[in-house]
């Protein structure tokens, strides 16, 4: 089983990204578990899952207790090993690298880690490339893949995005998703994710 930690800006639709990832992986025959922050049952039902075998675990968005609750849940849940992937939404203010380190300390059987993903809101660049909050910089430093929706493509913003991410974390892979004709598709992202090697 592979764990994917997914961070991103407060207020952006990380859940839409997570459930798009779930649906694409499920379509490819994977069994998926999802841990999200404070989701309502109505919103979950509206996300059109392709597989009824998915489990959802809702957690509170309280950074000081989130990691402890997550660790307890993973240790207590016997059926998580039946999943190929577990997608975990992280609170905005938590550093994903610290969460992964805590999970590694558990030494859970048959668990590997996928790359840490940061969902980037390109509109933050309206305020200028160098206006990235410190908390986001810390998260990007822990990130292996930055996912950014860049449609409609604004070349100036995209160049600014590349510049600030490479300045913050030169080793991060940047995936620029666009639903336009000239951009990458979500299925391309999942190909990248499933073939990613550290």
Q: What is the pLDDT of residue 180?
A: 62
- Give the pLDDT score at 11: 64
Structural domains for the chain: 2-194 (3.40.50.300)
Give the Cα separation of 63 and 61 in Å (integer): 6
| Rounded Cα gap, residues 64 and 112, in angstroms | 24
What pLDDT does residue 133 have? Answer: 62
pTM recorded for the entire structure: 0.82
CA distances from 40 to 45, 55, 197 (A): 9, 14, 35
Alpha helices (H) in 49-178, listed in sequence order: 63-76, 96-106, 134-142, 155-168
DSSP annotation of 91 reads P
* Prior bond of 167 cis (ω within 30°): no
Q: 41: Cβ–Cβ under 8 A, 6 or more apart, which residues?
A: none
CA–CA dist 124, 62 (Å, integer)? 24
In the chain, which residues have pLDDT < 70? Answer: 10-12, 38-63, 77-81, 123-135, 151-153, 179-183, 198
């Amino acid at each position: 089983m592979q764990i994917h930690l997914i961070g991103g800006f407060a207020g952006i639709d990380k859940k839409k990204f997570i459930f798009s990832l779930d649906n694409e992986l499920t379509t490819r025959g994977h069994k998926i578990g999802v841990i999200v922050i404070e989701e309502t049952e109505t919103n979950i039902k509206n996300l059109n899952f392709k597989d009824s075998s998915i489990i959802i675990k809702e957690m509170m968005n309280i950074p000081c207790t989130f990691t402890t609750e997550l660790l307890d849940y993973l240790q207590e849940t016997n059926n998580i090993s039946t999943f190929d992937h577990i997608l975990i939404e992280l609170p905005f203010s938590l550093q994903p690298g610290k969460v992964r380190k805590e999970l590694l300390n558990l030494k859970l059987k048959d668990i590997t880690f996928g790359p840490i993903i940061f969902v980037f809101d390109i509109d933050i660049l309206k305020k200028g490339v160098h206006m990235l909050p410190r908390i986001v910089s810390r998260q990007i430093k822990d990130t292996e893949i930055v996912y950014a929706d860049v449609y409609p493509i604004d070349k100036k913003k995209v160049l600014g995005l590349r510049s600030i991410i490479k300045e913050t974390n030169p080793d991060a892979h940047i995936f620029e998703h666009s639903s336009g004709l000239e951009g990458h598709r979500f299925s391309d992202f999942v190909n990248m994710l499933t073939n990613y090697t550290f």
